Amino acid sequence: MTIDLNNLPDEILFLANNEFYEFIKTCLGDDEMLLLKIQSIKSIRALLNVPDVLAVINIKCKELVDIKNRICFIDENNNNRFVVKSGIKGGIDDLLSVLKEKQSEYIKRTKRLKTSSRSSKNNYTSTGTHMLNSSNTVSDDLTVVPTAASGTSSLDSVNSVFTPPIPTTVSYSMSINDYEDLISSSIEKFSLSTLGNITLRNKDDYTIFLSVLDKNVDAYIKCKCNSSIKINHRSNTNSFQLSQFFKHLKNSCYLITKKKQQINSISREMNNSLNGSSQDDILESEGLDDNDLASANLSDLSETETNNSVVKKKRSLSHSTSSRITKRSKI
C-alpha cells in the first residue's frame, strides 16, 4: 500500500495501536516501527509529543542491542561510539514534519469552524430579536379603533397587515458533533429496523470522520470490519447520503453476521432454559419430586418382576401336570 504524505486524511492524526504501527511500517519500515514499539509509543499523538525518538539509543540496555545494530553504525573498536544511519534519521524527521503540519492545519480548521458556527448562531439570534422588537414597535404605534357596528377592536385586522415576516429556516453550518449525531442516529434507526434488532453504536461498531470547511463537508465511515465508506453530503438539504454504508452492512460486513450469530446463540440458550423450566413446572404441578419419581420407577419394576414370577410359576405347573399325564398313559 502506498501512502501520499502530501495528502493525508484527518484520520491519520487519530491512529493508535496496530493501525499506528502498520502506518509507520508502511511509511518508514520495520526497523523504525520496532524503534517506536520498543518505547511504547502507540499513537500519532504520543509520537508528536516525544522530543526525540532517537535519544533512547544512547542508553545502555540489553533490550536495545538488536535495534542499535539494525539502525546504527557502531565503531568496532569502541561500542560506545555509534551513528544513526542517515536514511533512518531522515525518514523519521520527514514524517514528523508532515504530521506536525497536518496537526496544525487540523487545529486551525477546527477553531475556524467553531468560530464560524458561533458567529452564525449569534447572527440568527440578533436577527430574531431585531424582528421581534420591530413587531413590538409596530404594535405600539397602532391605534385601536372600535367599529361602529359591534364596538369591538379592529386591532386584529390591522396587525394582520403590519405583522413583519418571521424567518422559518436558518442557514448556518452545524458543528462536527451535530453532524456526527445526525449520522449515528440514522444508522441506529436503520440497524434496528433492517438488521433484525441489531443496534450499531458510534465509536463501538464504526467511527465517523468529518472534515468541515464553510459549507463543504467531507465525510466517511470506518466500519469495525476495517472497511471505509465515503458518504456524500447534500449541501442543499444539509444531509448525508448513507446508502453505500447501508449496502455494506447488509451485504458484505462480517460484523453483522457475527452479531446475528450471537443473537441466535442467546435465543437458543433462552429457549433451552425456558423448556427446562417448563418441565420442572409440570413435575411441580403434579406434586412429584425426584424421590417420588424414583419410588414410582421402583414400584413399576417390582410389579413387573412379580408378574414375570407368576407367569413362570404357571408355566412350571403346566409342565409338571403334562409330565404326570404322560407317565400315567404309559402305565
pTM: 0.41
Contact status, residue 74 vs residue 82, Cβ threshold 8 Å? yes
Counting residues of the chain whose pLDDT is more than 70, the rounded percentage is: 64
pLDDT digits (tens, 9 = 90+) for 258-314: 888 877 777 778 777 777 655 555 555 555 455 554 454 545 545 555 555 544 555
The SS3 assignment for 74 reads: strand
pLDDT-based confidence at residue 316 (cuts at 50, 70, 90): low
Q: Is the dihedral of CA 263, 265, 270, 274 positive or negative?
A: positive
The number of beta carbons lying within 10 Å of the beta carbon of residue 124 is 14
> Residues of 67-102 as b/e, b for ≥16 C-beta within 10 angstroms?
bbeebbeeeeeeeeeeebeeebeebbeebeeebeeb
Dihedral Cα 239, 240, 243, 247, nearest 10 deg: -140
- The cell for 60 is 545502555
pLDDT digits (tens, 9 = 90+) for 164-217: 444 433 344 577 788 888 898 888 888 888 877 788 888 888 999 988 776 678
